Amino acid sequence: MSEKDLVETAPTDHFEARFRRYTGLSGVLVKSLAVGLALFCLLEVGGVFTSMGHYFLGTQFGAIFLLVVSILIFLLFPAKKDAPMGHPAWYDYLLILASLVGNFYIIANALSLSQLTRIVATPYEIVLGLLTIVTLIECARRCTGWAIPVLSLLFLFYAKFAYLIPGPLGAIKISWGRLIVDVYISDAGIYGNLTQLTATVIIIFIIFGSFFIISGGGQFFLDLAFSLMGSVRGGPAKAAIIGSALFGSISGSAVSNVAVTGTITIPMMKKIGYSPEFAGAVESVASSGGGITPPVMAAIAFVMAAFLGVPYSQVVIIAIIPAILYYAALFIQTDLRAARIGLKGLSRSELPPLGPTLRNGWQFLIPFAALIVFLFIWRYPAAMSGVYTIIVFVIVSQTKKKTRVTPRRCVAALYNGTKSSLEVASMSGAAGVFLAVLTITGLGPRLSSGLVAMAGTSMLALVLTAAITCYIMGMGLPLLVSYILLSVLVAPALVNYGVPEIAAHFFIVFMTMSTFFTPPFCPVAFVAASIANAKPYAIAVQSVRLGIVAFVIPFVFIYDPKLLLIGTAGEIVLSFLTALVGVFALSVGIEGYLFKKCTLPQRILAVLSGLIMIIPGWQTDLLGAILLLFVFLRQRRPVFKN
């Protein structure tokens, strides 16, 4: 594939088809604006502006970032289906002007506003604040649909009129002037930590992913996975799991992950004999796990680290065991299914050879090794580690002509990286609205107290209530947004009940992640269905079976968080090993096969064994092992007779 082909076909995100495409001078201006934003963030994180004696205040930097993001969204995303695609509509220019005025006020007055002692905005600031909020909500609508805008508006109306609500959900009367100060002017609103985190960390790793993909790194991951696993029993499914896990950790979007990798993996799985529903489910579950897959974790790790006040590297290390268990269940079930229906792997002639694959793509592994060194050995901040990793990647890419980051590819990577970050950037601005409202009204603590009150003295009731809340609020929202919202609403309730804070946050991530493949929402199942030529809900039902660990492990986090590295080394290792055996037993019971087809009693015993062994504790481990041994002996009995 030529450099021109790589640049033009490199995937960026799942809403690529919705972008306006500009040519001529307009195209140059739009691309320059996007590339300029990427460079601005890279230079700020790299300390270039600071070394030149120019310092940006947090709100000032956030306002510059959201201003350019807003302009790009109004230029690239049409407001509706019948909007012009070759040029902006007249109202796009008005929205750009409103965004320019509102954000520029913060940029120009950041220092004086940071020293503000009054708690009520002026009429002029109220108008500017409302204009800015409206433009950000419209940006989120164009990028992500109606869920986030509706949520933001509901929170705004709640803040303004909560004093009319009787009972515990009521709040003090808040004027528009006070509300605008908290949402628009202060550093706790739309220009707060979430926007600054997006502009300094998340976008850096999105840009890294763009460099990686545009040089052929995504294809290398798939080739490597197929080289390693393609020829073994059910090989294409196992290759899909490995490739999608690695790709999903970088891309950050389960839907786009299915759309990109699924076009290769799903037909391969169907080719060797997997049903269309099973093939689509494997890709759906594998792609959905990007949010828990180190090292990038689809940007979740960055936000979680900021919320918990711990290093990013600590979150990544804690995520290793849960990610292994999640993918182990998927891996084992695909293997048992292949054994049950007699599937083989692909022939070596149909697969990329391992040696040449590594020789042609070894340079793609170096940046990940460098990232580990920067984060875990030298303990650099996440954003700085990302910048250095990009530099390392550009350097090592020069060793191969096919993957070399040329000026053309560099510009394309920066441009695609900015475009891919628009969704999360728009979410961060809009999410700042309801985070500010939660703070000013005290709604978050009251809702958490309400969950605790509903549960009474029962931990199980609280956890089940929290799980249902995560599922309902996770539907229709991107994973990052649902995690942010639920970490404020649900996590405090669990923590107040004695659950370790890290366990509460991982519980939320797992439960919300499962909504992507669980009916009725299951967006990844619909994308996979279009590729597999199967029914979406048939894929979703199969996905629930394959992704069973996503529903079981979170409850273990709550009751005994040894799997989150809370405990002694011996306890952690023992819990991990027994949980791994439990995942195997659970997979046997779900798939109904070990050495031969299981009877119904054997399947029930295997499921019980798996559930019991996943729960840490020697008593449960012993009981689970006995049940699994019984199933093993019953399966092997004919062999013993011979």
Those residues whose C-beta lies under 8 Å from the C-beta of residue 367, and which sit 6 or more positions away, are 208, 212, 389, 390, 392, 393, 396
Give the pLDDT score at 622.
Answer: 92
* Residue whose pair of structure tokens reads 């979703």 in the numeric block: 540
Give the pLDDT score at 5.
Answer: 44
Give the pLDDT score at 12.
Answer: 42
Neighbour count for residue 26 (Cβ, 10 Å): 15
Neighbour count for residue 37 (Cβ, 10 Å): 26
The tokens for 355 are: 């040696």
Rounded to an integer, what distance in angstroms lies between the CA atom of residue 40 and that of residue 191?
A: 17
Give the pLDDT score at 306.
Answer: 86
Partners of residue 597 on adjacent β-strands: 593
Which alpha helices (DSSP H) does 273-365 contain, by range? 276-288, 300-308, 312-341, 354-361
Rounded to an integer, what distance in angstroms lies between the CA atom of residue 546 and that of residue 334?
A: 8
Q: Which 3 state secondary structure label does DSSP give 597?
A: strand
Rounded to an integer, what distance in angstroms lies between the CA atom of residue 526 and that of residue 127?
A: 42
Rounded to an integer, what distance in angstroms lies between the CA atom of residue 505 and that of residue 484?
A: 10
The string of pLDDT tens digits covering residues 263-319 is 888 998 998 889 999 999 999 999 898 878 887 776 788 888 888 988 888 998 999
Give the pLDDT score at 8.
Answer: 41
* Residue whose pair of structure tokens reads 């605790």 in the numeric block: 452
Q: Which 3 state secondary structure label does DSSP give 423?
A: helix
For residue 573, the surrounding DSSP H or E stretch is: helix 569-591
List the chain residues with pLDDT less than 50: 1-15, 639-642
The tokens for 593 are: 């096969």
User: In angstroms, what CA-CA distances link 517 with 245, 428, 503, 547?
Assistant: 15, 24, 23, 8
User: In angstroms, what CA-CA distances link 95 with 89, 153, 180, 409, 426?
Assistant: 10, 18, 19, 32, 14
Residue boundaries of the structural domains of the chain:
14-198, 580-642
Those residues whose C-beta lies under 8 Å from the C-beta of residue 471, and which sit 6 or more positions away, are 511, 512, 514, 515, 518
Rounded to an integer, what distance in angstroms lies between the CA atom of residue 486 and that of residue 183?
A: 19
Rounded to an integer, what distance in angstroms lies between the CA atom of residue 236 and that of residue 274?
A: 10
